[in-house]
Every structure is written in C-alpha cells, then in structure tokens.
Amino acid sequence: MEHAHHVEHPDMYDAESSKVGMWLFIFTELLLFGALFVIYAVYRYMNPDAFHLAGEELNRVIGTVNTVILLISSMTIAMATTALQKGQRNVAIGLVSITFVIGLVFLVNKYFEWGVKFSHGIWPGSEHMMNEMSHGEILFFGLYFVMTGLHALHIIIGMAIMVFAVRGLVRGKVHADRPSLLDNCGLYWHLVDLIWIFLFPLFYLIH
Amino acid sequence: MQTTAVNGANYLTYQGKYKGLLGWILSTDHKRIGLLYLYSIATMFTTGVLLGLAMKFELLAPGKTIMEAQTYNSVFTVHGVIMIFMVVVPGLPAVFGNLMLPIMIGARDVAFPKLNLLSWWLYVAGVFLVLAALLFGKGSPDTGWTFYAPYSFKTGTNMLPAIFGAFVLGFSSILTGLNFLVTIHRLRCKGMKWMKLPLFVWTLYGTAWIQLLATPVVGITLVLVALERVFGVGIFDPALGGDPILYQHLFWIYSHPAVYIMILPAMGAISEIIPTFSQKHIFGYKALIASTMAIAFVGYLVWGHHMFTAGMSGTAQYYFSLLTFIVAIPSAIKVFNWISTLYKGSINVQTPFYWAVSFIFVFMIGGLSGLVLGALATDVHVHDTAFVVAHFHYIVFGGTGFAFFAAIHYWFPKIFGRMYDKAWANTGWLVFFVGFLALYTPMFYLGMMGMPRRYYDYLEEFHGGNILSTFGSWVLATGFIIIVVNLVRSARKGAPAEANPWHGKTLEWTVPSPPPVLNFDEEPVLGEKDGPYNYE
C-alpha cells in the first residue's frame, strides 16, 4: 500500500468524553424504564386490590436472594475498577469474572421463577389468566413479565459488555491509563442493579 | 499523533483503509457520514414525495380516482412514517450537524466517530425494516404514523417490522444526539466559549437533549405495542383492562418534543444564513440561545394538546392549552430577531437568502395556525380536519423542509467545493414556493369548512379547493425536480467554489472547500474579538 495516500484519523481517546457519553446513555435507559414505572403507577392506582392479590403470588425468597447477589455484584465490579486503578490487572479480571458469574446466577434464578409461573398457567395471554383473573391481575402480570424481562435483557447486555472488558484487560488494551471500557461497564452494571432495586419492592414487597 | 494529509487531498477524494464504496460506508469521517445521510435522506424524501403526490392525485376528484380506500390508508401511513422518522427527525442534525458541527467548533471530528457510523447503519437498518413491512406479509401498515392503540395491535396488516423499524430509527437518533452532546461539551477549540458558539451549534445542542431524553419513551411504547400484538400483555388493550389513552400520552410525550427535534436545527440554520446574507451581527444572540433552550424545555410539557378531544379532564386541558401558548413565545422571539437582523443590513440576495425569508413567511403562518389548534374551543372545531394537515405541513415541510433547502444551498459550495447554477437554483425555489402555497393553503380553508383528514373520498362541495391543492402538488414536484437536477449536476460540473463565497464568519468558512480530511491543519484558536457574527 502506498503510504503517502493513507490518511488516518488521530487517536481521539478522552476518558472524560467516554464517561460523559456513558452517563448520557444511562439517562436514556432510565427514561426507557421510567415510562414503564409511570404505567405501573397508573395501573396500581386504578387497581390497588388486584395488584395486592397478584403480588402475593410472587416468590419473595427468590426475589430477595436475587436482590442480595445483585448488590454484591455491584460491589465486585466496583472493586474491579479500583483494582485496575492500582494496576492490579489480574485482580480486576478475577473480579469482573465473579461479577459475570453472579449475573449468570441471577438469570438462572429468574429462569426458575418464570418457570414456576408458567407451570401455574400464568403467562401473557394464557387461558388461566384470561378466564380466571381480573383485569388488574392481568395488568400486574403483564407488567411483571415485561419489566423483569426487559431487566433480564439488560443483565445479558451488561454481561456481554463484561466479556469485552475482560478481553480488553487480557489483551492489555484496557489498563490503568485507559480504563474507560471497564469504568463504563461498571457504570452500566450499577444501572442494572439500580433498576432492580426499584423493581423488587414494587412487585414483591408493596401490599 | 497526526498523520498529515496529502497535499490537495480533501475528504471527498482521499484514500483511507478501504477503497471505493467501502471507503464511504465504513468511513468514520464525520463529513463522509454526513454525506451518506444526505443521500439516504434524499432518497427517502423522494419516496415520501411520490407517496404524497399519489395521495393528492387520489383527492383530485371525489370518489375513487386511482386507489382503493385501504390503499390510501397504507399510503398515508407509509408517507408519514417515512417523512417523520426517516426524513425530518434525522434531517438537519444528521446531515448538516455531521457535516458542519465539528468544523464549526474547531474540532477534527465528533467525540465518538465509530458510534457515529453505527448511527448511520442503524438508520439504514431501520429503513429496510420499514420497507420490509411494505413488501412482505398481509398488507402494508394502515394505522397512520402514530400507531394508535388499540388499532395498531388489532389490524391484520404487517405492523411488526414497521414498529421495530421505528424503534431502530429512534435508537439511531439517540446515538447521534449523545454524540453531539459530548462533542459540544468536550471538543470545542481554544477560545470557543459557550457564548461564542454559532447558533446552529446551540440549536443542535438543544435538539440533542431532546433526542436523548424523549426518544426512549416512544421506544418503550413501541415495544409495548409489539408485545401487545405478539403476546397480548394487555397494557394498552381495553379488553384486558389496559388504557389506550395511556398509549396516546406516552406516544406524544415523545412525539411532541420530536417536532422540536425537527424545527430547532432548522431555526439554527436560518440563524446562520440571515446574518451572513445581511453581513451584520445577529440581533439578540443571547435571546436566540435562551429561546432555543426554552423551546427544548417547555416542549416537553405540551404533549396533551394532541389529545384535547381524546378524553382528558378540564384542568389538564387548560394546563396544556396555556403551556402551548407559552411555547409559542420563544419561536416568536426568534422571528423577531431574524427580522431585526435584516434591518439596516447590507443584504446580499442569493438563493439561500430566498429560502430563509420564505422560511420565515411560511413558518409564521404555520405557527399562528398552531395557536388556533392550541386554543380549546377552536380545536374542537378543526380537530382531525384538513386544517391540521395544513398547519402541520406549513411547520414541518415549510419550516424544516425550507430550512433544509436553505442549508443545502448555503453549505453546498463548502461540501462539494463547487458552486451551483444560481439562476436555476432561484427558479427552482420560486416554482417550489408557489407550488407549496397552492398545495397547502387551500387545506386551511377545506379544514375550516369541515373536510376530515385521512379519507380517500370527500363531499362534492370540497372539490374546488382540492383541485387547487392537487395542482399545487404538481407545481411543487416540478420545483423539486429543478432543484435536485441543478444540485446533482453542479456537484459534478459546477464552477470551483472559493473557501468563503458568502463572506461568512463561522469557522467552516476558514477551511478550504471541500474541507481537508482532518478539517484543520492546526487547531484553530479564537481570540477575544473573534466571534461567529463579528462583521465590520
């Protein structure tokens, strides 16, 4: 290749830009869920009894376990960020991996939780729901599946970002002077955690 | 760090890592991406225009003229989806924002060039998804571009790809907004203080915030409609306890701010053109910035005025009506400032100037007719009539569309390094402008007389106005052809353009035409006395 005709863009890495960009993206995620929280608030206000009744159906033990492990995972990813700042690359890789595994455990719990609902004949549009449930209960479970489902999707996205972060760490592209990918991975994971912190009481605890 | 550009190589001709077409569709250069958007949006606009012409032809006479009622429903739906989501929402930010924003603030590129390219790819993906809805499945979407519940999940037509396509286009729009926000915050050159930013940049800034904060709401709302269709979750389905009015609220919480996504950058382009062709400092620079941010903010709070007749408490109606009147004030401030800038200016009458002043003319008619719709009593009378269509097209086509044409004629010599044929450009403008007036003005009258919108048929008494309107659509199309042929021809064969043909003061006029790959040889520095509108 003729070098004279080859024009490259300069390296534009700017940690501050990456961080601001991620925060802005987190705003959009909050609004995405924000609309769902508004819908939840409206329907809860319109159907207080049905929401109470339907909320009893949910398994509070699994919900609590998932809340606790998700909080722990937020801690481990924050520790990974700190480890990288101190230049401890292998510690950081280990901590991100632990976070990844916790995310996986969360999803497995979710799988069993949804599975039990399905075995009770509860899923959107199921015969059991259409024939035996009130409108309020249908809305509760509709929102339950949509909101926890969308949250689970975000868990998966967060885990995918972790894969890229670990790859960057292993290849040496993410390091103490260039930590944005891991930092943003952590920020995103905290968002996923934060949304769950609101979902958990709204569906499992409030009566 | 910087590898210097080959002497004479500009962004149109340089050879990067990839050759030929790949060198364009995989380029992360903001200027190339801007051109990719220009070509894609021009293609979609032409498609939308053809659909619009088909509708106007159908309305040439009462009864069936060229298409069945169901076809007409699909045509106005697809016309709306294309024009809103693929043309006017991305329109000025994606094309001229990408082409000019980094240069105007003295930067080499946007903050995230790869993300920028991803935005364009998402745009293309969204376009193909929507087109898939037309080609496959049981009939084209027929809900109108608003996808109102419950019809949007009851109709048998092919809604899912269209809804998903709109979602993807929204994602593209969010990423562009995010990119521009970070760019404006982080990449301004030395001396480019906030109070020295060109007004086009300020409007892109306001727009970007709206793109970022409003689009996710419609995104999730569209997802819910899709889930409603597939699983029947019940959230908007009255048969399962859901509330279709809630859909309308969520839809307009985005889609009203979205009309400010459409109009703010248009106002920004006009705010660049008016001072350049008056050779005079813009009147009320700070007032224009304040009005931009006021529109961006108050625009969030007026969505309910789309739903006055849909079922809403009296209190809510008063509130939304009052705020609608308030949001008109910053727009009026802008018009006042543009006119005041012209006063005692050394006016250089050129094609962009014609477009800009005709923009002010149609924008004012569009804006004032909006107040007729924002007032509760008159809205009940003209709601869902041709009056609404006329108002909307006066604002969005006459506003954003005219500003787009103004901007392309303004920045064309910078973008392509060639000048267009001015006589043909002026002719194109005149024919287009006359056609526009003939096309939409009768619809105000027809709406007042009670002709409903979204029907392929009408009563005999509306025939006269419709003939004039259809005739206008042909004149407008002729003007459009003249403009496009002239620009396409000039991009290839026009006379080479100077770096600063209009004697503008913003930074893009300090670099060669077309700009070099990295925009500036050295990072520009703005002195104390430099400013975007500092004319002698």
Q: Which residues on adjacent β-strands are paired with residue B516?
A: B10
Q: Residue B110: which residues within 8 A CB-CB, separation 6 or more?
A: B30, B98, B101, B102, B116, B179, B180, B183, B187
Percent of chain B with pLDDT over 90: 91
What is the chain B residue with the closest CA to A22?
Answer: B178
How far, CA to CA in Å, does B512 sit from each of B8, B97, B362?
A: 10, 18, 34
Contact A10 B2 (CB under 8 A): yes
A177 interface with B at CB cutoff 8 Å: no
Residue B387 near residue B444 (C-beta atoms within 8 A) = yes
Q: For residue B293, what are the domain limits?
A: 35-510
DSSP helix/strand/coil, B520: coil
What is the chain A residue with the closest CA to B5?
Answer: A7
* Inside any domain, residue B489: yes
Q: How many CA atoms lie within 13 A of B144 on its CB side?
A: 12
Q: Which of B512, B497, B281, B492 is CA-nearest to residue B410? A: B497
* Inside any domain, residue B231: yes
Q: How many Cβ atoms from other residues are within 10 Å of residue B164's Cβ?
A: 19
Contact A27 B240 (CB under 8 A): no
How far, CA to CA in Å, does B504 sit from each of A104, B105, B116, B255?
A: 58, 15, 27, 35
Question: Is the pLDDT score of A2 beyond 70?
Answer: no
pLDDT at A11: 64
pLDDT at A129: 87
Q: Which residues of A touch B9 (CB under 8 A)?
A: 5, 7
**Residue B169: CATH number of its domain:** 1.20.210.10
- Based on its alpha-carbon atoms, the radius of gyration of chain A, rounded to whole angstroms, reads 21
Least Cα separation, residue B77 to chain A (angstroms): 25
* Inside any domain, residue B523: no
Token code pair at residue B392: 């909307």
Give ∠ CA B204-B210-B212 in degrees, rounded to 5: 100
Question: Is the pLDDT score of A125 beyond 90?
Answer: no
Q: Which residues of B touch A38 (CB under 8 A)?
A: 250
> What structural domains does chain A harbor?
17-205 (1.20.120.80)
DSSP structure class, residue A205 = I
Q: Which residues on adjacent β-strands are paired with residue A175?
A: A178
What gap in Å lies between CA B354 and CA A132, rounded to an integer? 67
Q: Which residues of B touch A5 (CB under 8 A)?
A: 6, 9, 14-15
Q: What is the mean pLDDT of residues B153-173?
A: 94
Least Cα separation, residue A52 to chain B (angstroms): 16
Four-CA torsion B296, B297, B300, B302, nearest 10 degrees: -100
Q: Which residues of A touch B233 (CB under 8 A)?
A: 124-125, 142-143, 145-146
Q: Which residues on adjacent β-strands are paired with residue B418?
A: B496
| pLDDT 10s digits, B176-213 | 999 999 999 999 999 999 999 999 999 999 999 999 99
* Inside any domain, residue B27: no
Q: What is the mean pLDDT of chain B?
A: 94
H/E stretch holding B495 reads strand B495-496
* Inside any domain, residue B388: yes
Question: Is the pLDDT score of B19 beyond 80?
Answer: yes
What is the chain B residue with the closest CA to A131?
Answer: B240
Highest mean pLDDT among B128-137, B308-317, B466-475 belongs to: B466-475
Residue B25 amino acid letter: I
Contact A10 B14 (CB under 8 A): no
Residue B68 amino acid letter: E
What gap in Å lies between CA B207 and CA B292, rounded to an integer? 9
Residue A207 binned pLDDT confidence (cut-offs 50, 70, 90)? confident
B221 interface with A at CB cutoff 8 Å: yes
A10 interface with B at CB cutoff 8 Å: yes
What gap in Å lies between CA B390 and CA A177, rounded to an integer? 57
Question: Is the pLDDT score of B358 beyond 90?
Answer: yes
Residue B216 amino acid letter: P
pLDDT at A113: 94
| pLDDT 10s digits, A151-205 | 999 999 999 999 999 999 999 999 999 999 999 999 999 999 999 999 999 999 9
What gap in Å lies between CA A55 and CA A47, rounded to an integer? 12
* Inside any domain, residue B123: yes
How far, CA to CA in Å, does B38 sit from each of B102, B205, B289, B353, B429?
A: 17, 20, 27, 21, 19
| pLDDT 10s digits, B376-421 | 999 999 999 999 999 999 999 999 999 999 999 999 999 999 999 9
Domain count, chain B: 1
Helices (H), A86-179: 89-119, 127-132, 135-171
List b or e across B50-87, with b for residues whose CB sees 16 or more CB atoms inside 10 angstroms. ebbbbbbebbebeeeeebeeebbbbbbbbbbbbbbbbb
Contact A12 B215 (CB under 8 A): no
A146 interface with B at CB cutoff 8 Å: yes
> How many residues comprise chain A?
207
Question: Is the pLDDT score of B16 beyond 90?
Answer: no
What gap in Å lies between CA B328 and CA B33, rounded to an integer? 34
What gap in Å lies between CA B79 and CA B50, rounded to an integer? 9
CB pairs under 8 A between A and B: 133
Residue B103 near residue B519 (C-beta atoms within 8 A) = yes
Residue B112 binned pLDDT confidence (cut-offs 50, 70, 90)? very high
What gap in Å lies between CA B421 and CA B484, rounded to an integer? 12
Token code pair at residue B462: 């509306």
Q: Which residues of A touch B217 (CB under 8 A)?
A: 31-32, 34-35
Residue B27 near residue B113 (C-beta atoms within 8 A) = no
Q: How many Cβ atoms from other residues are within 10 Å of residue B521's Cβ?
A: 12
The ipTM estimated for the assembled molecules is 0.92
| pLDDT 10s digits, A57-67 | 899 999 999 99
What gap in Å lies between CA B349 and CA B232, rounded to an integer? 59
Top residue of A1, A6, A8, A24 to mutate, by most chain B CBs within 10 Å, is: A24
* Inside any domain, residue B534: no
Give ∠ CA B462-B465-B466 in degrees, rounded to 5: 80
Helices (H), B110-158: 113-135, 151-154
Q: Which residues of A touch B112 (CB under 8 A)?
A: 17, 21
pLDDT at B4: 41
What gap in Å lies between CA A18 and CA B154, rounded to an integer? 43
Q: Residue B349: which residues within 8 A CB-CB, separation 6 or more?
A: B277
Percent of chain B with pLDDT over 70: 98
Q: Which residues of B touch A54 (CB under 8 A)?
A: none
3-state SS, B374-401, equals HCHHHHHHHCCEHHHHHHHHHHHHHHHH
| pLDDT 10s digits, A19-42 | 999 999 999 999 999 999 999 999
Question: Please, which residues 104-133 of chain A have a Cβ atom closer than 8 Å to chain B?
Answer: 123-125
Residue B207 near residue B249 (C-beta atoms within 8 A) = no
Residue B182 near residue B266 (C-beta atoms within 8 A) = no
What gap in Å lies between CA A197 and CA B356, rounded to an integer? 52
DSSP helix/strand/coil, B97: helix
Q: Which of B78, B75, B229 is CA-nearest to residue B151? A: B229
What gap in Å lies between CA B465 and CA B82, rounded to an integer? 26
Give percent helix, percent strand, percent coil of chain A, each to the nearest 5: 80, 0, 15
Range from A64-68, A89-93, A124-128, B297-301 carrying the lowest mean pLDDT: A124-128
- Check the CA dihedral B88-B94-B100-B104 and report its sign: positive
**What's the pTM value of the predicted model, to 2 decimals?**
0.94
Token code pair at residue B194: 């906030």
pLDDT at B135: 83
Give ∠ CA B44-B47-B50 in degrees, rounded to 5: 150
A207 interface with B at CB cutoff 8 Å: no
* Inside any domain, residue B136: yes
Owner of token pair 């998966």: A156
